[in-house]
Chain A
Amino acid sequence: MKVNLKVWRQKNNNTAGKLVEYSLDNISPDMSFLEMFDVLNAELIRKGDEPVAFDHDCREGICGMCSMYINGRAHGPQTGATTCQLHMRSFSDGDTIVVEPWRARAFPVIKDLMVDRTAFDRVVQAGGYVSVNTGSAPDANEIAIPRTIADEAMDAAQCIGCGACVAACKNASAMLFVSAKVSHMAVLPQGQAERKIRAERMVAQMDAEGFGACSFTGACSVECPKSISLDHIARMNREYLGAKLTSENV
Chain B
Amino acid sequence: MKLEAKIPEGPLAEKWARHKFGLKLVNPANKRKYDIIVVGTGLAGASAAASLAELGYNVKAFCFQDSPRRAHSIAAQGGINAAKNYQNDGDSVFRLFYDTIKGGDYRAREGNVYRLAEVSVNIIDQCVAQGVPFAREYGGLLANRSFGGAQVSRTFYARGQTGQQLLLGAYSALSRQVANGKVKLYPRTEMLDLVVEGGKARGIITRNLVTGKIESHSAHAVLLCTGGYGNVFYLSTNAMGSNVTAAWRAHKHGALFANPCFTQIHPTCIPVKGDYQSKLTLMSESLRNDGRVWVPKRKEDSEKIRKGLMKPTDLKEEDRDYFLERRYPSFGNLVPRDVASRNAKYVCDEGRGVSKTGLAVYLDFADAIKRDGRKTIEAKYGNLFEMYEKIVDDNPYETPMMIYPAVHYTMGGLWVDYNLMTTIPGLYALGEANFSDHGANRLGASALMQGLADGYFVIPYTVGDYLATIGPADKVSVDSPVFKQAEQRVQDQIQRLLSINGTTPVDEYHRKLGLIMWDYCGMSRTEEGLKKAKKMIQELKAEFWSNVKVTGDNEEMNQTLEQAGRVADFIELGELMVDDALNRNESCGGHFREEYSTEDGEAKRDDENYAYVAAWEYKGENQPAVLHKEDLVFENVKLTQRSYK
In the complex, the answer to whether A46 meets B549 with C-beta atoms within 8 Å is: yes
Which B residues lie within 8 Å of A125 (CB)?
175-176, 178-179
Q: Is A158 at the interface (CB under 8 A from chain B)?
A: yes
Which of B68, B124, B172, B185 is most buried by chain A, counting CB atoms within 10 A of its CB? B172
Instruction: Give the distance in Å from the alpha carbon of A50 to the alpha carbon of B561 in the complex.
Output: 11
Q: Is B509 at the interface (CB under 8 A from chain A)?
A: no
Q: Mark B140-163, 1 if CB is under 8 A from A, else 0.
A: 111000000000000000110100
Which of B187, B278, B503 is most buried by chain A, counting CB atoms within 10 A of its CB? B278
Q: Is A70 at the interface (CB under 8 A from chain B)?
A: no
Give 15 CB contacts A-B under 8 Å: A39-B276, A60-B279, A60-B387, A63-B65, A64-B74, A65-B70, A87-B390, A111-B557, A118-B67, A137-B126, A140-B124, A140-B127, A141-B84, A161-B69, A191-B131
Count residues on chain B whose CB falls below 8 Å from chain A CBs: 78
Which of A59, A120, A124, A136 is most buried by chain B, counting CB atoms within 10 A of its CB? A124
In the complex, the answer to whether A57 meets B72 with C-beta atoms within 8 Å is: yes
Which of A126, A136, A157, A160 is most buried by chain B, counting CB atoms within 10 A of its CB? A157
Q: Which 10 A-B pairs have the closest CB atoms?
A: A144-B140, A137-B129, A129-B172, A153-B133, A137-B125, A154-B133, A134-B51, A140-B128, A57-B239, A111-B557
In the complex, the answer to whether A58 meets B133 with C-beta atoms within 8 Å is: no
In the complex, the answer to whether B507 meets A63 with C-beta atoms within 8 Å is: no
Q: Is A51 at the interface (CB under 8 A from chain B)?
A: yes
In the complex, the answer to whether A138 meets B125 with C-beta atoms within 8 Å is: yes
Name A residues whose Cβ lies closer than 8 Å to a Cβ of B: 11-12, 28, 30-32, 34-35, 38-39, 41-42, 44-46, 48-51, 53, 55-65, 78, 81, 85, 87, 89, 110-111, 114, 116-118, 120-121, 124-141, 144-147, 150-151, 153-154, 157-158, 160-161, 184-185, 188, 190-191
Q: Is B347 at the interface (CB under 8 A from chain A)?
A: no
Q: Is B86 at the interface (CB under 8 A from chain A)?
A: yes
Which of B133, B135, B185 is most buried by chain A, counting CB atoms within 10 A of its CB? B133
In the complex, the answer to whether A59 meets B278 with C-beta atoms within 8 Å is: yes
In the complex, the answer to whether A48 meets B551 with C-beta atoms within 8 Å is: yes
Residue among B66, B279, B390, B507 making CB contact with A118, cutoff 8 Å: B66
**A65 and B66 contact, Cβ closer than 8 Å, known pairs A58-B75, A60-B387, A110-B557:** yes
Which B residues lie within 8 Å of A137 (CB)?
122, 125-126, 128-129
Which A residues lie within 8 Å of B410 (CB)?
none
In the complex, the answer to whether A124 meets B138 with C-beta atoms within 8 Å is: no
Name B residues whose Cβ lies closer than 8 Å to a Cβ of A: 47, 50-51, 54, 65-70, 72, 74-75, 84, 86, 122, 124-131, 133-142, 158-159, 161, 164-165, 168, 171-173, 175-176, 178-179, 185, 187, 210, 239-241, 273-274, 276-279, 281, 387, 390-391, 393, 456-457, 460, 503, 505, 507-508, 549, 551-552, 556-557, 559-560
Instruction: Give the distance in Å from the alpha carbon of A45 to the alpha carbon of B547 in the complex.
Output: 13
Instruction: Give the distance in Å from the alpha carbon of A78 to the alpha carbon of B387 in the complex.
Output: 13
**A63 and B138 contact, Cβ closer than 8 Å, known pairs A114-B557, A134-B456:** no
Given contacts A35-B276, A63-B65, 15 further A-B contacts (CB under 8 A): A11-B556, A58-B74, A58-B75, A59-B278, A60-B281, A62-B75, A63-B74, A111-B557, A136-B129, A137-B122, A139-B125, A144-B140, A158-B161, A160-B164, A185-B131
**A130 and B140 contact, Cβ closer than 8 Å, known pairs A135-B122, A150-B135:** no
Which A residues lie within 8 Å of B134 (CB)?
140, 150
Which A residues lie within 8 Å of B460 (CB)?
134
Instruction: Give the distance in Å from the alpha carbon of A63 to the alpha carbon of B390 in the complex.
Output: 17
**A132 and B135 contact, Cβ closer than 8 Å, known pairs A65-B70, A121-B68, A125-B179:** no
Which B residues lie within 8 Å of A135 (CB)?
122, 126, 456-457
**A128 and B175 contact, Cβ closer than 8 Å, known pairs A45-B560, A50-B552:** yes
Closest to A27 in B: B276
In the complex, the answer to whether A12 meets B281 with C-beta atoms within 8 Å is: no
In the complex, the answer to whether B240 meets A51 with C-beta atoms within 8 Å is: no
Which A residues lie within 8 Å of B241 (CB)?
57
Instruction: Give the distance in Å from the alpha carbon of A89 to the alpha carbon of B273 in the complex.
Output: 14
Which B residues lie within 8 Å of A138 (CB)?
125, 129
User: In angstroms, how far is the closest chain B Cβ from the Cβ of A48?
Assistant: 7
In the complex, the answer to whether A28 meets B551 with C-beta atoms within 8 Å is: no
**A141 and B126 contact, Cβ closer than 8 Å, known pairs A58-B75, A63-B75:** no
User: In angstroms, how far is the closest chain A Cβ from the Cβ of B624?
Assistant: 34
Which B residues lie within 8 Å of A11 (CB)?
556
Instruction: Give the distance in Å from the alpha carbon of A190 to the alpha carbon of B128 in the complex.
Output: 8
Instruction: Give the distance in Å from the alpha carbon of A5 to the alpha carbon of B621 in the complex.
Output: 44
Instruction: Give the distance in Å from the alpha carbon of A132 to the alpha carbon of B172 in the complex.
Output: 10
Instruction: Give the distance in Å from the alpha carbon of A110 to the alpha carbon of B277 in the complex.
Output: 27
In the complex, the answer to whether A42 meets B66 with C-beta atoms within 8 Å is: no
Which A residues lie within 8 Å of B69 (CB)?
64, 121, 161
In the complex, the answer to whether B551 meets A124 with C-beta atoms within 8 Å is: no
Instruction: Give the distance in Å from the alpha carbon of A191 to the alpha carbon of B505 in the complex.
Output: 50
**A130 and B133 contact, Cβ closer than 8 Å, known pairs A62-B164, A139-B125:** no
Which B residues lie within 8 Å of A145 (CB)?
136, 140
In the complex, the answer to whether B75 meets A141 with C-beta atoms within 8 Å is: no
In the complex, the answer to whether A57 meets B278 with C-beta atoms within 8 Å is: no
User: In angstroms, how far is the closest chain A Cβ from the Cβ of B79?
Assistant: 14
User: In angstroms, how far is the closest chain A Cβ from the Cβ of B392?
Assistant: 9
Which A residues lie within 8 Å of B129 (CB)?
130, 132, 136-138, 140, 190
**A132 and B126 contact, Cβ closer than 8 Å, known pairs A89-B393, A147-B140:** yes
Which A residues lie within 8 Å of B139 (CB)?
144
Which B residues lie within 8 Å of A89 (CB)?
393
In the complex, the answer to whether B66 meets A31 with C-beta atoms within 8 Å is: no
In the complex, the answer to whether A157 meets B51 with C-beta atoms within 8 Å is: no
In the complex, the answer to whether A57 meets B140 with C-beta atoms within 8 Å is: no
Which A residues lie within 8 Å of B175 (CB)?
121, 124-125, 128-129
In the complex, the answer to whether B126 meets A134 with C-beta atoms within 8 Å is: yes
Which B residues lie within 8 Å of A116 (CB)?
66
**A140 and B556 contact, Cβ closer than 8 Å, known pairs A116-B66, A124-B171:** no
Instruction: Give the distance in Å from the alpha carbon of A21 to the alpha carbon of B499 in the complex.
Output: 29
Closest to B130 in A: A130
Instruction: Give the distance in Å from the alpha carbon of A32 to the alpha carbon of B552 in the complex.
Output: 26
In the complex, the answer to whether B176 meets A129 with C-beta atoms within 8 Å is: yes
Instruction: Give the distance in Å from the alpha carbon of A64 to the alpha carbon of B70 in the complex.
Output: 7
Residue among B66, B126, B172 making CB contact with A128, cutoff 8 Å: B172
Instruction: Give the distance in Å from the alpha carbon of A133 to the alpha carbon of B274 in the complex.
Output: 48
Which B residues lie within 8 Å of A151 (CB)?
133
